[in-house]
Structure 1
Amino acid sequence: MLFRTDTVRRSVTMEGLGSLADLGVKLVAGYRSVVLGAGAVVAVWLARKIITTKKKQKLRREWDSVGQDVVLLHQFLRGKYCPNLSPFALKVETFLRLANIKYEVDSKSPYGPKGKCPWITINGEDVADSEFVLDNLTQRFNINLESHLSTQQVASLEAVRILADEHLFWCVITWRYWLDRCVIFLTTQDLGLFFNTFMPVFMVPGIKHRAKEQGIGIHSPEEIYQICKKDCATLAGVLGDNDFFGGEKPSRADCAVFGQLAQLMWNAPGTHYEALLTNVFPCLASYCLRMKDTEITRFNLTNTALL
């Protein structure tokens, strides 16, 4: 009996040791898999980091090659009827032309440090957001497009600029990308099959979310249209019989207003939004044409290349 009991104990002990050994082997194998997997992830990350860094260095060399005091304007590709689908890009480009600042356009990298379009590079410095861009250029080149205006007029025009950039803008993009699902807008661009197919997939939910956060998205399509109409009525009232919002000649505020109204004038063909300018407030349509045909800012609607 003692012999048999001892034999059983040794057998159990050996089985236990065998199980522990198997467990150890599995743990080591699992650990090696984790290490190898982590190593592969790190290797891929490093490779992408190196490639991205080299790409940025190459782009930086290209950007710096435009020359001293030459603005490199990063923006979207040209449209069919309007120089740019971004009102803020058109705003900056119009300012550059009004201020007679030498510039070149880059469409390879439209999104800047803040993830927004447009942005500029000048003398190795990157500046993002259209208002900060204009502030920077105004100070850098000692530009004053309001020299013919009083302090009160300049302040009033800043309110007009805010109406266009911060209010009318939301009406336009909410209709363009969400309510109309990019249908009309895509007919005004040469973006190719890929973007024509997938742009609505990403833009519709994205703009819907942003519009609801901003507040305009909680309204009905008709209410949004009425808000846009009211904005246009306000702009038409401020413009009055003047050629420009700056009076006899364009001011800095005109760059912003033109950038926004141009989206209704040329990037919403055949819609009731376009009709707000062409039928309801024709003075705004005439204003857009004057801005387009101003000697300095003139652009060709045939191919939207700035002359």
Structure 2
Amino acid sequence: MILLYTLAPQWGIGSISPACLKLETWLRMTKLTYQTAIATLEDFEIAPKGKLPFIRYGDRLFGDSTLIIALLKQQESVDLDRDLTASERAISVAFRRMVKENLYWGGVYIRYCIEENWLAYRDTLRELVGQGLSDPEWEAIAQGIYDSVRSQLEGHGLGRHSDEEIVQIICEDIQALSDFLGDKPFFLGDRPTTLDATVYGYIANYIRPPYQSPMVDFALARSNLCQHCDRMAEQYFPELLV
């Protein structure tokens, strides 16, 4: 049995965490049997990588969505990419790395570096993981999360750029995804693959939350990416559609 530790659904998507949504989408695509555990603050203390998602598989804990997928592909003999050519696999890896290692940080910037967005996101986090805490307790935890994430953003490098430069960099990523998707139903043809699970997890977390940013506006203007998100949601998370 696979037990997935994830952050709760919100805004009509399966998780407020792009990586959690990516992994759960992949699990649903493979039809592997799994259960979810909505993570608490205490669960971060046992997370193998100190972050979500992670899984309990057998009697062990495993972290990082990409490494978890690699593990389950091997252990459960499932491969959404089995029909891809070597060239298509290379394209998939390159786009998935771009999404995870660059586009992700644009989403972090939107939630943590635009003040009105951070104030709203802080309230959402409290509803999901901070219930039962006093105001001073939650304020201390929220400030710690904020400081840690801002430091990580700076360490990654994106946080060292100006607002205008960040928008330029991230919008180029979004445009690349839109250009490659074109009018195809899925990124590598008529059947969804790991790349589709990945893009959905991250782009949905751009366009579904109620946060304002030029990057959000840019993504919303790419109708094929929005339609791709709708297609993935209808196919794999129909219970969340309103």
TM-score normalized with structure 1 length: 0.69
CA contact (8 A) 1:185 1:268 kept: no
What is the CA-CA distance between 1:270 and the residue it aligns to? 4.7
What is the CA-CA distance between 1:72 and the residue it aligns to? 0.2
Counterpart position of 2:185: 243
Computing the radius of gyration from Cα coordinates, the structure with the larger value is 1
| Structure-2 separation of matches of 1:118 and 1:204 | 19
What is the CA-CA distance between 1:122 and the residue it aligns to? 1.5
Counterpart position of 1:117: 52
Alignment partner of 2:10: what SS? coil
1:147 paired residue among 62, 72, 82: 82
Q: Are residue 207 (structure 1) and residue 149 (structure 2) matched? A: yes
Q: Are residue 225 (structure 1) and residue 167 (structure 2) matched? A: yes
What is the CA-CA distance between 1:210 and the residue it aligns to? 1.3
**Structure with more contact order per residue of length (Cα contacts < 8 Å, sep ≥ 6):** 2
Question: Aligned pair in 2 of structure 1 residues 178, 202: CA closer, same or farther (>3 Å)?
Answer: farther
Number of aligned pairs? Answer: 231
Question: Aligned pair in 2 of structure 1 residues 121, 255: CA closer, same or farther (>3 Å)?
Answer: same
Counterpart position of 2:230: 289
Superposed CA RMSD in Å reads 2.2
Q: Are residue 164 (structure 1) and residue 99 (structure 2) matched? A: yes
1:176-195 equivalent positions in 2, closer than 5 A: 176-180=111-115, 182-186=118-122, 190-191=127-128, 192=131, 194=135
What is the CA-CA distance between 1:221 and the residue it aligns to? 1.6
Q: Residue by residue, what CA displacement relative to the aligned partner does 1:44-65 show, whole Å, maximum 9, x if unpaired?
A: xxxxxxxxxxxxxxxxxxxxxx
Structure 2: state its 5+ residue gaps: none
| Structure-1 separation of matches of 2:66 and 2:22 | 9
1:76 paired residue among 7, 18, 42: 7
Q: Are residue 253 (structure 1) and residue 188 (structure 2) matched? A: no
Q: Residue by residue, what CA displacement relative to the aligned partner does 1:9-53 show, whole Å, maximum 9, x if unpaired?
A: xxxxxxxxxxxxxxxxxxxxxxxxxxxxxxxxxxxxxxxxxxxxx
Alignment partner of 1:233: what SS? helix
What is the CA-CA distance between 1:187 and the residue it aligns to? 6.3
TM-score normalized with structure 2 length: 0.86
| Structure-1 separation of matches of 2:167 and 2:208 | 17
CA contact (8 A) 1:179 1:221 kept: no
CA contact (8 A) 1:81 1:301 kept: yes
| Structure-1 separation of matches of 2:213 and 2:123 | 12
Q: Percent identity?
A: 26
Shifted more, 251-260 versus 182-191: the winner is 182-191
